[in-house]
Every structure is written in structure tokens, then in C-alpha cells.
């Protein structure tokens, strides 16, 4: 009977070999616990700093976007014959009977330096049935393109906004859930805007173009029905409501609010837009535009600093493991001399790096969460005392960032130890044992 084959370290069971070298990697980490703990601590600081700084930067960006949207548009495009009452902030269209083509919205959006273009249409409508003299501003806007109305939403119903809903300015007496009748057609008050100090925004109603089409259709039906009504009062009331919306046309708008891209100047945009036929351009406060763009540059710098922290951690891990592997050249040589494959040795060294940096990544997330808690209890609390909202990212986004930082720390350990481990695993065993070569 032939003897059983002896399984070497590079034998027939790769799973057992992988388990052996994984256990050996864990044992090696405990050989010098002080050095391992210092490396974990360094990765913890880096990962926690990246996690906290990126989360705070995202919150600052969202808060700034909301705040700057509340400051209004950079430019507003109106019909060339319109008389525009300039306010301190271009938040909404000013009362005017002149209109321009809605096709200009897409033309302006495709101009260089334009980030957003939001159409609005102004109407002066009766809002109480039987009282045609009681009128208010009703401004139609496109929620998908809007950047000046929705940011002022202070409260709204606990459901998505639908056709037939209307939004009331802060100075309106109506509350959420009330029913009003613009043009004698009932609609629901979906939300209330916060106080802006700008009259046309605070005293007006806002609704979507789809709701305006619904109102127009209802008024038209009532007008046709009123032709058979003998009551002169009802007929006159319906006719008056129809007169207001008689000129409604989705393709005709009152103004276009424009937001500039980073780096674009109002002068360049004015020159490009002014070449379009039948329009003129009104500028907002230049300080708003310059402040928005300066803040965007600052946030970009913060994100760049976060990336530099990751690069610095990669360099640090690479240098540390270069020293660690150089110190353990004899051990690597002995493993190679007794039959270990260079792939197995390389896996062992990389496993040590991944274990260390992954553990540092997990503790770094805990450390970063502590930093965020301190930030919440200090600066954010102070901002809330000043009635300044800080927009934290959604919990799902924060968890995603935490997971990404943990994986990134493990990847940094893998990438940092890859070159030194690869070089050591390829050297001749006798050179490694003798401490020569390099």
C-alpha cells in the first residue's frame, strides 16, 4: 500500500491554505500591538475626518443652495415693452400684461453660462365667488424648473402637490387645507410660503401650469353654461372670470427667471440673451451672484481637501507597510523557503493591511459620528438660535457615505501595501533570509 501523500502548505486544498495564511496574518498583527494600534488610530483619524467633513460639506452645500435660491434669480427676462418694478430680489414676475413665447425658455437654457431658466405667468383673478372686485395675483410656474418659489415653502400638506392645488404667500390669510375659488373655481390651499419681505411673493398665490389649464377649462365650461342662464348677475360673473383667463395660453409667459452657472457673469449672460427678439434683461443684485459663486468655489475647495486627506492616508499606509515588510524580510524568506507560493505570501501581507485599515475605517466612522454630534450641539445649535436652518443630508445618504468611507479605508490599505508586498513576495528566498537585495 502506497503511503498517503503529504499535503504541503501549497497542497491540494487552496481553501485550507487561505485559512492558514489569514490566521497567520491576524497573529502577525498581534505580535506588535502598539504599532498596530497606532496604525489603526491614524486610519481612524483620517477616515473620521473624511466622513465628517464630507457630510458637513454636503449639508453646507444644500443649505447654501436653499438660501441662495431664496435670494432670487440672477437675471429676469421680460417682454421688451413691459414696465418692470425692480425689487431687491428677483423672486417672481412683476405684474404685466405683456407676454413672450415659452420657446425662449429652452433657447436661454442652451446659452453659455445659464444653469436654470424658470418660466412664470402673471394673472389678476377674482378669488371669491360672487365678489368679482376681490382680486389677487395668481402666478403660474413650473415646479420642475422653479428655483425661487418652492425654496420659500414653509409648510405644506402631508402629500405631494397635485393638479388643483394652490400655494399661498405668507401675507395671505388663507391656511393649509382651505378652499378658495379663483375665477369661481374651487381649489385647495396646498402650502404656505415663508415671509420674504418682497410684496409680489408674499401677497400672491402660486400654482402650476397644469392647474391653470384646469381652471381655464372649468371657466370655459361655466361660460358656455351661463349662456342659458337667465340670471344676469351669474352671467356677468362668469363672463368676468372668463375675461381674465381668455388670454391664457401655455405657450405665452410673462417672464423667465434665470440662474447663472459657476464662473458666468451677469454681463455675459445679458449680452447673449439680449440678442433674442422681443425681450429685455433685468439684473438682480450682483452681490448675490458673486457670493453664490464664491461659496461654490469654497465648497469645491473643501471637497478637494477631503480628497487630499485620502491621498495622504494612502501615502502614509504605503510608507508604513514598506517599513513593516522590510523589517520582516527573513520571515517572508523562510515562508518562501519551506514551499509557500509568492501569491500566498502576498495575500498574507495584504490581508494584514486590509484588516488593519478596515478596522480603522469602522472606528473612524464612529469617531466621525462623534464629530458630527459635537457640530450639531455647537455650531448648528447656534445657527438655529439665529433662525438659520442647516440642511443635514438624508439619513440614507449619510449611511451611504459612512459605508463608502469604510470601504475606501480598506481599499487604501490594500493599495498602500500592494507594491511593497508584491516586491517582497517576488524576491529570492535566500536573499530575503540573508537580509540582502532590495
- Please report the DSSP string for 62-121 in residue order: HHHHHHHHHT--SEEEEETT------SS--SPPP-S--EETHHHHHHHTSTTEEEEEEEE
Phi, psi of 239 (to 5 degrees): -65, -40
Closest of 246, 247, 274, 250 to residue 120, by C-alpha: 250
Q: What are the tens digits of pLDDT across the range 237-261?
A: 444 555 566 668 888 998 999 988 8
Of the listed ranges 54-58, 179-183, 394-398, 426-430, the least confidently predicted one is: 426-430
Q: What is the pLDDT of residue 22?
A: 64
As a whole number of angstroms, the distance between CA 128 and CA 179 comes to 10
Domain ranges of the chain: 14-67+294-430, 74-284
Q: What is the pLDDT of residue 3?
A: 44
Rounded mean pLDDT, 333-356: 78
Of the listed ranges 9-13, 300-304, 340-344, 418-422, the least confidently predicted one is: 9-13
Indicate the pTM of the whole model: 0.61
As a whole number of angstroms, the distance between CA 398 and CA 304 comes to 19
What are the C-alpha distances in Å from 415 to residues 141, 227, 354, 362, 406?
Answer: 51, 81, 9, 18, 14
User: Band of the pLDDT at 330, cuts 50, 70, 90?
Assistant: confident
Q: How far is CA 369 from the centre of its chain?
A: 20
Rounded mean pLDDT, 395-421: 85
Cell numbers standing for residue 116: 436654470
Buried b (16+ CB within 10 A) or exposed e, 291-312: ebbebbeebeeeeeebeebbee
- Cβ 211 vs Cβ 166: under 8 Å: yes
User: Band of the pLDDT at 141, cuts 50, 70, 90?
Assistant: very high
- Cβ 268 vs Cβ 283: under 8 Å: no
- Compare 76 and 262 and report the one with higher pLDDT: 76
User: Band of the pLDDT at 228, cuts 50, 70, 90?
Assistant: low
User: Band of the pLDDT at 156, cuts 50, 70, 90?
Assistant: very high
Percent of the chain scoring above 90 in pLDDT: 20
Cell numbers standing for residue 183: 375665477
Q: What is the pLDDT of residue 178?
A: 92
Q: What is the pLDDT of residue 235?
A: 47
Q: What are the tens digits of pLDDT across the range 168-204?
A: 999 998 999 998 888 778 899 999 998 887 777 888 9
User: Band of the pLDDT at 29, cuts 50, 70, 90?
Assistant: low
Query: Could you tell me if residue 55 is left (phi over 0), alpha (psi between -120 and 50 degrees) or otherwise beta?
Result: alpha
Q: What is the pLDDT of residue 4?
A: 43
Residue 131 has pLDDT above 60, yes or no: yes
Rounded mean pLDDT, 55-61: 82
Q: What is the pLDDT of residue 21?
A: 58
Q: What is the pLDDT of residue 438?
A: 44
Residue 73: other Cβ atoms inside 10 A: 27
Residue 87 has pLDDT above 60, yes or no: no
Amino acid at each position: 500500500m502506497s503511503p498517503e501523500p503529504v499535503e504541503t502548505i501549497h497542497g491540494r486544498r487552496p481553501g485550507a491554505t487561505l485559512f492558514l495564511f489569514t490566521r497567520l496574518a491576524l497573529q502577525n498583527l498581534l505580535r506588535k500591538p502598539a504599532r498596530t494600534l497606532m496604525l489603526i488610530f491614524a486610519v481612524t483619524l483620517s477616515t473620521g475626518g473624511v466622513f465628517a467633513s464630507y457630510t458637513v460639506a454636503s449639508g453646507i452645500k444644500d443649505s447654501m443652495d436653499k438660501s441662495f435660491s431664496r435670494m432670487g434669480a440672477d437675471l429676469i427676462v421680460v417682454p421688451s415693452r413691459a414696465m418692470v418694478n425692480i425689487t431687491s430680489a428677483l423672486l417672481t414676475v412683476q405684474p404685466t400684461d405683456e407676454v413672450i413665447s415659452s420657446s425662449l425658455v429652452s433657447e436661454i437654457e442652451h446659452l453659455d453660462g445659464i444653469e436654470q431658466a424658470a418660466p412664470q405667468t402673471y394673472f389678476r383673478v377674482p378669488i371669491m365667488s360672487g365678489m368679482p372686485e376681490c382680486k389677487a395675483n395668481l402666478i403660474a410656474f413650473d415646479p420642475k424648473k422653479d428655483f425661487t418659489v418652492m425654496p420659500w415653502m414653509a409648510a405644506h400638506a402631508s402629500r405631494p402637490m397635485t393638479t388643483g392645488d394652490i400655494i399661498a404667500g405668507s401675507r395671505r390669510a388663507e391656511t393649509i387645507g382651505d378652499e378658495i375659488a379663483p375665477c369661481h373655481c374651487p381649489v385647495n390651499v396646498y402650502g404656505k410660503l415663508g415671509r420674504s419681505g418682497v410684496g409680489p411673493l408674499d401677497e400672491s398665490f402660486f400654482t402650476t401650469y397644469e392647474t391653470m389649464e384646469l381652471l381655464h377649462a372649468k371657466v370655459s365650461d361655466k361660460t358656455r353654461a351661463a349662456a342659458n342662464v337667465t340670471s344676469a348677475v351669474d352671467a356677468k360673473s362668469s363672463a368676468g372670470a372668463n375675461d381674465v383667463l381668455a388670454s391664457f395660453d401655455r405657450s405665452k409667459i410673462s417672464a423667465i427667471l434665470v440662474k447663472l452657472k459657476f464662473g458666468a457673469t451677469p454681463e455675459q449672460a445679458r449680452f447673449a440673451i439680449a440678442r433674442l427678439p422681443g425681450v429685455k434683461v433685468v439684473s438682480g443684485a450682483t452681490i448675490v451672484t458673486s457670493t453664490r459663486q464664491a461659496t461654490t468655489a469654497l465648497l469645491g475647495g473643501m471637497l478637494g481637501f477631503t480628497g487630499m486627506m485620502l491621498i495622504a492616508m494612502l501615502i502614509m499606509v504605503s510608507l508604513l507597510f514598506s517599513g513593516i515588510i522590510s523589517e520582516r524580510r527573513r520571515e517572508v524568506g523562510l515562508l518562501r523557503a519551506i514551499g509557500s507560493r509568492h501569491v500566498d505570501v502576498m495575500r498574507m501581507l495584504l490581508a494584514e493591511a486590509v484588516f488593519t485599515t478596515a478596522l480603522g475605517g469602522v472606528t473612524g466612522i464612529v469617531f466621525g459620528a462623534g464629530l458630527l454630534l459635537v457640530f450639531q450641539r455647537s455650531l448648528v445649535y447656534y445657527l438655529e438660535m439665529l433662525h438659520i436652518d442647516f440642511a443635514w443630508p438624508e439619513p440614507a445618504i449619510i449611511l451611504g457615505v459612512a459605508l463608502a468611507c469604510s470601504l475606501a479605508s480598506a481599499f487604501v490599505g490594500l493599495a498602500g501595501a500592494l507594491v511593497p508586498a508584491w516586491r517582497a513576495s517576488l524576491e529570492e528566498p535566500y536573499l530575503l533570509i540573508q537580509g540582502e537585495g532590495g
